[in-house]
Amino acid sequence: MRLPEVSRGRDLPEAVTIYEVAARDGLQNESAVVPAALKAEFIRRLVGAGLGVVEATSFVRPEWVPQLADAEQVLDLLPADLGADLPVLVPNERGLDRAIARGVRHIAVFASATETFAARNLNRTLETQFQMMTPTVARAIDSGMRVRAYVSMCFGDPWEGPVPARQVVEVGQRLLDLGAEQLSLGDTIGVATPGQVRHLLDAFVDAGTPNTQLAVHFHDTYGQALSNSFAALQAGITTFDSSAGGLGGCPYAKSATGNLATEDLVWMLHGLGIRTGVDLEQLVATSEWMAGILGRPSASRVVRALAPRLRPSTDDRKAGTSE
């Protein structure tokens, strides 16, 4: 089979948005630096496969994430309209200045739900991280940009352990109050389970945050990313972060393995009769191409299952040749 059999799920969204993070969150965790031209080609292929939102890069300091030191070059290699529409991550006002200079119209900022990770990832406390973000978000909005906010360590922290839902909700609501239009709730070390996912999402709704403003970002460290995604679907979430080929993790959380693979997510969604706009076969081919560049097999189970079936057979190759 190349496509899943469709059996429409009850009380589930008719369509979802996939927020593709492989080009940024995926490649930033690679030991090798992928050349800018190949990153731009990767982005073009992801967009060509029907992914409507592809996070392109991050305007972070090169010494922090050397894999993304070529952010401007990558955007310059993309068609101007495409490069302006793709979201980019910015850590602070210096990053925002770079985004404005490139005409970017959609940015993402990031915060921590825990004290320890705020210190390790942002060199801030849980409270002072907002002092850093406030002028960044305000200037971005004044410049006509859309702003998304990531919240890390929403379901567990390797140093602090379980994270109270009320603490995550407080951080998230403060980001929305600053002007972020969407929150992406991150299971940074992949420890969440479906019941915990539902509990946190319900806590946000109970506090007055509609689920239309929430997205989820799952890692597959314990093999729970798809089951957690299904729980989020049942809670009414319609935006899911994922990474083509399962690329990525978190360079500041050593126990974090890859992101939820976009292909695995799409297979489940299409099987449930939920529209994504994604051409799964084209996406699989793209992830297999990137896996070849990185020199290792894709982490996505769907890529590993489908890619051999999509390759031309020996007979097909012979039939396409002439003497």
Alpha-carbon torsion (27, 28, 30, 34), positive or negative: positive
Query: Is the Cβ–Cβ distance between 224 and 267 less than 8 Å?
Result: no
Residues forming beta bridges with residue 184, ordered by sequence position: 150, 215
CB burial string 2-27: b at 16+ within 10 A, e below: eebeeeebeebbeebbbbbbbbbbbb
Domain-embedded: residue 288: no
pTM, to two decimals:
0.93
Domain-embedded: residue 298: no
Domain-embedded: residue 30: yes
First to last CA, the chain: 34
Which residues are annotated as catalytic?
A: 250
Digit-coded pLDDT (tens) for 191-216:
999 999 999 999 999 999 999 999 99
Helix (H), strand (E) at residue 272 = none
Domain-embedded: residue 80: yes
Digit-coded pLDDT (tens) for 289-322:
999 999 989 999 999 999 998 877 544 444 444 3
Digit-coded pLDDT (tens) for 23-58:
999 999 888 889 999 999 999 999 999 999 999 999
- As for how many domains the chain has, the answer is 1
Domain of residue 187, CATH code = 3.20.20.70
Query: What is the domain range of residue 230?
Result: 17-280
Domain-embedded: residue 275: yes
